[in-house]
Structures are given as structure tokens and as C-alpha cells.
Amino acid sequence: MTTPLYPIILAGGSGTRLWPLSRQNFPKQFLKLNGELSLIQQTMKRAMGLPGHQTIIVSNDAHYFICQDQLQDFNVQTTYLLEPCARNTAPAIACAAHYLANTVGKDAVMLVLPSDHWIADDDTWLAAMLEGGQFASENKAIVTFGIKPDSPKTGYGYIEAGHTLSKDIKHVLSFREKPDAQTAAQFVSNGNYFWNSGMFICRAGVYLEELEQFEAEIYQFSQKALTLAQHHHDFLRLDLDCFSQCKEESIDYAIMEKTDKAVVIPISIQWSDLGCWTAVADANKQDEQGNTLIGNVIAQDSHNCLINSEDLLVTTVGIQDQIIVATSDAVLVADKRYSQQVKDLVHSLRKDHPHLTQDHQRVPRPWGYYEVLAEGASFKVKRLMVKPGAKLSLQTHQHRAEHWVIVGGEAEVVNGNHTFILSKNQSTYIPKNTLHRLSNPHKEPLYVIEVQSGSYLGEDDIKRFDDIYLRKEVELAE
């Protein structure tokens, strides 16, 4: 009988090395980097081939609605555990393990999957997961998966394998940090070192036992964070006070480097964590000149380049070994040799241009999205799209007034004590501190031009009185 597996998809990464496409509020896992599906969609599709009935997604609270929007077409029973702050993988997995232990039992076999990896051979991957799941169900073990290296990569951690325990399963001797080039070459020539894939299988109870032994505080505070979580529909919002007290620790540091229960299954597949733009290039097809061209791009006499443009036409002549990534508000140009240093660039940008690291010009919201068209010292112009059946929160703003102009569809508007319908080319003015709401009760999208004016136009100037999406009051505004 095949062991049921419970996928735990970790969707809390930031992907700073893939700026300007990856932003704080729309990170790597939600991007379509090598096809029609985003990375988290690819992960969910892959997990659907596993024997099981429920998937758990651990996500940043602010990314819940993006996850839900991207995964709504997958017919999978899904529970979201929402992190109020980032605490790395050990606490995230701990909350999922506690949840499974409480709802299914401590013998439930969980498969921990990063949401932002690329895998080319789903069949080989599936066979390895089934083998690992069977071993974990029969043994007190934490199974990890080592990718057989095809080159001495310095961007990955390595797993040193020891003696064989069963078929393809080997004892883990050590976990090694990202090596320098010389050490990586030695690892590859040795033959017993494998790339650390960040995928794990074990019983929920085994993970919790090891966590309690090696990181008791993470065990305790993650348990309390789940116990005190707010339950709503398909998600649990973990308690902030408790979860924030968890040590910020990866599963490797917290457990895998200390436990004697670690085993590894080496697998030979095309795999990448897409940790930099050169990795994205390798995961896509190249033209005859070795270029990876994505989007609106023309490359002439150019070689071995990655060029990605969302909207603007990007043209090149006579360049080589370059990375060019263009969005509507930023352009990255870098030598391929410096692709890992994009992360350092983002740290610098956070000081002088923080908005360019946080959001794209099109910002997703549970009700649709908005785009900033223009802004100045005392005004901001946005284009809003409200999905059919969606509505913004009932809210007020202390520092700004707003004008709404309907440019497509028909809106239901609350403005002070009045509720009325606005059609295309009609408008309304909303003074400061006035209760208001925008709704789309129809089956077609609603498009609105919003003109804000006032002394302060920050996204945190909002007080919510009612919100169908159960968002917290202190967060980004509409």
C-alpha cells in the first residue's frame, strides 16, 4: 500500500537575487520564469501526483491572497498557515508538523517542498518521493534528497553521503555550507557529495521529537503560535507574539546538522533553486547564440546573454555574457559573473529607493490590483481593477481625499451616508475622514481612475471598518 504524503509547501522566500522582477511583495515563487506557470504553480502541479488528500502551504501573511489567486484552479484541499513575520524554515515546518500531528496524527508523513524550485523530470522526482515516503513511514528517519551534481557549483550547499542503508538510501555524514570553487571541485570528483535540494520527508512526530531535543524553544513557541492562531475559512493566522519568539533558524542548522536520523536519497534530475539570473538562463531554452530571450526582446550579434523584458522593447547589438532585466519602473544590467551580487545591490536600493524593492507598479490585492500612473508631492494617480464580485474594505483616510472616475464597468459606491451606482464616465469625490467603499457586483471587471490628494499619501493611511478578506487593519492600504 502506498504511503499517503502530506506536502508542506514553503512559500515565504524573498528571491532578492532576481530583482527587479522579484520584489518583497511579489517574490520569486509567484513569477513565471520558464513557462506558463509560476514556480509555486509548478510545485503544486508536481505535488498533485503524490498519494494524499491535503496540502499545507506556509506563507507570509501578506502573500496569502497571491497564493490563493494563483492556486485557485488546482482542485486540491489546501490549508494555509500564515506567518506574521519571517523566521526561516525550522519554525515554519514546526507549525506545519504541529498542525498535522493535531489533525491527522504524529505518524502522518510530511513532504517539505520549497515553492520556488525548478525541476525538469517530474517522473524521476515522483519515484524518489515515493521511495522516501515509504522509508520514512517505516523508520524514525528524516529523508532528504541530494541532487547528483553535473558541475562544481558554489551556489549550493552539499550533503556528504555515507554507507548505504537500503537500496538508494544512504546515511548522511555531514552537511556542508556553500563551498569555494576549489572545494566544490573536490566534492564533485569525490562522488559522495550531492547538492542539498531543501526537500525533506519524515513523520510529523519524528520532526517534532528532534526539534524538541535540539531547539526546544522553537518547538514550544511554534506550538503556542498554532494553538493561539486565528482560524478563518481555509487559513490559520499564527499568533504574532509567540511566533516572533521562535529563533530565526533553518532546518539545516536547527536539526539536520545535529540529528543522527538524517538519510539521503541521491537523485539524478535537472534541478535548480533558481537562485540567480544565470540559473534562470540555464532553466530556459537558448537560441543559436546561447541567448535566453524572454518577453519583448530583439538581440542582434549578441551572445550568451539573458534578456527579459515585461513590456518595453529591449534591443541589443554586439554584447555578450550580459544580464538585462527590464520592468516598467527599473532596469538591471549586469555581467553574468556578478549575478550573485544582485542581492547586495538590492540591500543598497532599500536605503535610497525602498519602493523599488517592495512593489511593482502593478500591485496585487485580494480584490484585484492597482497601478500607480503618476505621483508628486501632494497627489497620486492610480488605475484600479476590481474583480467581478469583489469589493474594497469599508474605510476612511485621515490625510487624503480621493476622486473616483469609472472608466470601465459599473461600480457600487458607499460615500459617507450614501450608497449609489456609478457607470462609465461618472465620478465621485470622497473628502478626508469620510467612510467609503468600492464594490463590483457584476460579472465583468471594474476599472477606476483614482486621484488622491493630501498632505500624506502613504499606503498605511487607512482605517478599516469592514473587510470581507479578513485583513488586519495595520497593513498596506488599498
The DSSP annotation for 428-464 comes to EEE-TT--EEEE--SSS-EEEEEEEEES---TT--EE
Write the DSSP string, 324-362.
EEE-SS-EEEEEGGGGGGHHHHHHHHHHH-THHHH--SE
Mean pLDDT score, 290-301:
97
- In this predicted structure, what is the pLDDT of residue 1? 63
- In this predicted structure, what is the pLDDT of residue 3? 87
Q: How far apart are CA 359 and CA 66, in angstroms?
A: 13
Q: Is 144 left (phi over 0), alpha (psi -120 to 50) or beta?
A: beta
Residue 472 pLDDT exceeds 90 = no
- In this predicted structure, what is the pLDDT of residue 233? 79
- pLDDT, tens digit, 9 for 90 and up, residues 248-286: 999 999 999 999 999 999 999 999 999 999 999 999 999
- pLDDT, tens digit, 9 for 90 and up, residues 429-443: 999 999 999 999 999
Q: Looking at the domain covering 5-272, what would its CATH class be?
A: alpha beta
Contacts of residue 255, defined as CB under 8 A and 6 or more positions apart, other chains included, come to: 90, 142, 207, 210, 211, 214, 215
- In this predicted structure, what is the pLDDT of residue 478? 44
Question: In this structure, are residues 266 and 95 in contact, taking their beta carbons and an 8 Å threshold?
Answer: no
- In this predicted structure, what is the pLDDT of residue 276? 95
Calculate the average pLDDT of the chain.
95
Percentage of the chain exceeding pLDDT 70: 98
Question: In this structure, are residues 225 and 239 in contact, taking their beta carbons and an 8 Å threshold?
Answer: yes
Please, what's the largest Cα pairwise distance for the chain? 75
Fold exhibited by the domain 362-466: Jelly Rolls (2.60.120)
Asked whether this chain's domains 5-272 and 362-466 adopt the same fold, the reply is no
Residue 474 pLDDT exceeds 80 = no
Higher-scoring residue by pLDDT: 311, 118: 118
Residue 395 pLDDT exceeds 50 = yes
- pLDDT, tens digit, 9 for 90 and up, residues 322-344: 999 999 999 999 999 999 999 99
Task: Delimit the domains of the chain by residue range.
Answer: 5-272, 277-352, 362-466
- pLDDT, tens digit, 9 for 90 and up, residues 341-352: 999 999 999 999
Q: How far apart are CA 143 and CA 129, in angstroms?
A: 9
Residue 475 pLDDT exceeds 60 = no
Dihedral angle, C-alpha 364, 42, 226, 244, nearest 10 °:
-60
- pLDDT, tens digit, 9 for 90 and up, residues 210-227: 999 999 999 999 999 999
Q: How far apart are CA 275 and CA 118, in angstroms?
A: 10
- In this predicted structure, what is the pLDDT of residue 473? 53
Residue 107 pLDDT exceeds 60 = yes
How many Cα atoms are found within 13 Å in the side-chain-facing hemisphere of 119?
28
Confidence of residue 48 (pLDDT cuts 50, 70, 90): very high
Contacts of residue 73, defined as CB under 8 A and 6 or more positions apart, other chains included, come to: none
